[in-house]
Chains A and B, each alone.
Chain A
Amino acid sequence: MAGRRVRRTVRVGGPVLALLFLAAFPLLGLKPYFSQLMDMLGIVLLLILGLNLIFGYAGQISIAQAGFFGLGAYTAALLQAKLGWPFPLAVLAGVASPSLLAAVLGTPILRLKGYYLALATIGLGTMVYEALEQWQDLTGGPIGVMGIQRPPALDGEALYYYLIWGLAVLAFLMVRNLDRCAVGRAWVAIRENERAAAAMGIDAARYKLLAFVLSAALAGLAGGLYAFLNRYISPDSFGLNYSMILIASMIIGGAGTLGGALIGSGLLVLLPELTQAFADYHLLVFGAILVLVLRFLPRGAWGSLRRHVADHRAGEATAASPTPEPQALAGTPR
């Protein structure tokens, strides 16, 4: 069947092409402006992949992602700039600190639901932001942290790009693997109906915590990489606004889907560039798109596409025969 052939070609060919493009990108010799953009794309992808786990798959509202991002960035930045820690250890610590915070506070936070959970994660994110801004002795306050140094080996932009994207691709593969097995299904089950999930033996609290800690870990990794990207960070980048923008991107792309994470990341990074002429308007456009998406296409771009294709395929499968009736079973009851 031609349809299946096309689908398989796209399914295999698409990622191969994408990977080839990613690998070849630094060699294209484009202006540094473009490589900066691609670097940010990789970092944002990590953020949104993480957010997708707790918010998209497991359906638990988390408005703390920027806070985890900031905590990771500052941990890595301060350890390197102030204490001279080597790059790999600093970034690892950047992954560890938000993960630990999520692990410790995750259990009481995730007991909450709906708008209580929303406020709790807003509170968490805000507390991190305030700590970063106010604890001037430690963090430098609004001025930020300067003089973050990469190891000489990674001073070149091309190599740092490969590092970012190597990690982003690994994270993507991890999420894809989880999506396709019992873990991912357990998250979706929890999102769709926690009661039924429990009846199937799924320990909802444990799975939620797993998603939360993973989301924090990916955010922390993104933070560490971000700190060394520009060699400077300030609290501004890690406030509530950014958490909301991340959520908007995820939902516009399609929550709970891998394609959605890609689309959302692309949108987040590219939209400000496309609307450069109207720099003041890009948040407005973002918000407007989010409102329209929620109103008309709540599954997001990729989610809606996937649903459309799946419904179509399911329809095809039963097109030959009418709606099947349950088979009458042999052996009538007494």
Chain B
Amino acid sequence: MRLHVENVSKTFGGVVALSAVSAQIQPGWITSIIGPNGAGKTTLIDAITGFSPPTGGRVLLDGRPIHTLPPHRVAALGISRTFQTALLFEEMTVLENVLVGQHRSIRSGFWPSAGGLPAVRARERRGRAEALACLQLVGLERLAAFRAGSLPYGKKRLLELARAIASHPDLLLLDEPAAGLNTEETAVLAGMIARIKGMGITVVLVEHDMSLVMSISDHILVLNFGRRLAEGPPHEIRRDPRVIEAYLGEEG
């Protein structure tokens, strides 16, 4: 599953959020997108996943343009994502949240569903078992019956991750998954992302937490003011003067 971002631009009214950004996402790698606030990182994810179609350029999946597709169609192609603030289904239980992640694989047609046919119920049972496995992956299986809204923030982020994994994506985009997590939680998150990579899933990570980014990334893309600033393996990016200046400039 090869994702190719080709000269993608995005303008909102008069504001240029992205300007001719190009990138090739290497399958099987963990690619991180970093940059100061307002650099356009989330906008790029929104553009790739159909939530905010680009005003210029294209996004290609295995050579096929996908940038005009609505979000649910992009998801159907095997691209999953999480959001900057954990967008959970608060009234549902933890397990049900993950079950929604499996929607595409366990849903049936309307009439069989309405009729409660055995095949439908079998799919439900299978789905529940798999959902539990996803929860075990993130360590939330004991909380399966809890209402998602009652979880503390750190666990909500994990639940969102489990839900995204449950859809068996080929490509997983994580939008600031470490935001709001403490050091210990971030270390656990790092382990989980590594394990996700081990499952063969390509990961794209938008993050501010530099230690996390440097420790797990295979490749880093740096954005600033909506443009691609630099790209390369962590040890190069760490020493790149332009990147340092961009971040220092933000602090100043």
Asked if chains A and B are in direct contact (CB within 8 A), the reply is yes
What residues make up the interface of A, taking CB atoms closer than 8 Å to B? Answer: 173-174, 176-178, 180-183, 185-186, 188-189, 192-193, 195-204, 210, 307, 310-311, 313-314, 317-318, 321, 324-329, 331-334
Q: How distant is the Cα of A329 from the Cα of B215 in the complex, in angstroms?
A: 16
Q: How distant is the Cα of A178 from the Cα of B83 in the complex, in angstroms?
A: 28
Let me know if B72 is at the binding interface, CB within 8 A: yes
Q: Determine the residue in chain A with the shortest Cβ distance to B86.
A: A196
Q: How distant is the Cα of A333 from the Cα of B213 in the complex, in angstroms?
A: 11
Let me know if B163 is at the binding interface, CB within 8 A: yes
Contacts of A197 in B (CB 8 A): 72, 89, 100
Are B72 and A201 closer than 8 Å at their CB atoms?
A: yes
Are B89 and A333 closer than 8 Å at their CB atoms?
A: no
Contacts of A324 in B (CB 8 A): 139-140, 142-143
Are B71 and A199 closer than 8 Å at their CB atoms?
A: yes
Interface of chain A: mostly helix, strand, loop or mixed: helix
Interface of chain B: mostly helix, strand, loop or mixed: helix
**Known A201-B75, A203-B72: A189·B110 in contact at CB below 8 Å:** no
Q: Determine the residue in chain A with the shortest Cβ distance to B92.
A: A188
Are A310 and B124 closer than 8 Å at their CB atoms?
A: no
Q: How distant is the Cα of A180 from the Cα of B114 in the complex, in angstroms?
A: 10
Q: How distant is the Cα of A317 from the Cα of B147 in the complex, in angstroms?
A: 13
Partner of A331, one of B116, B121, B194, B215: B194
Q: How distant is the Cα of A314 from the Cα of B113 in the complex, in angstroms?
A: 28
Q: How distant is the Cα of A325 from the Cα of B90 in the complex, in angstroms?
A: 21
Q: How distant is the Cα of A331 from the Cα of B192 in the complex, in angstroms?
A: 10
Q: Determine the residue in chain B with the shortest Cβ distance to A198.
A: B71
A-B pairs, top 8 by smallest CB distance, nearest first, are A326-B139, A177-B116, A182-B107, A201-B75, A192-B89, A329-B191, A198-B71, A196-B87
Contacts of B116 in A (CB 8 A): 173, 176-177, 180-181
Q: How distant is the Cα of A182 from the Cα of B194 in the complex, in angstroms?
A: 30
**Known A193-B87, A334-B215: A181·B142 in contact at CB below 8 Å:** no
Are B120 and A185 closer than 8 Å at their CB atoms?
A: no
Are A180 and B87 closer than 8 Å at their CB atoms?
A: no
Q: Determine the residue in chain B with the shortest Cβ distance to A174.
A: B114
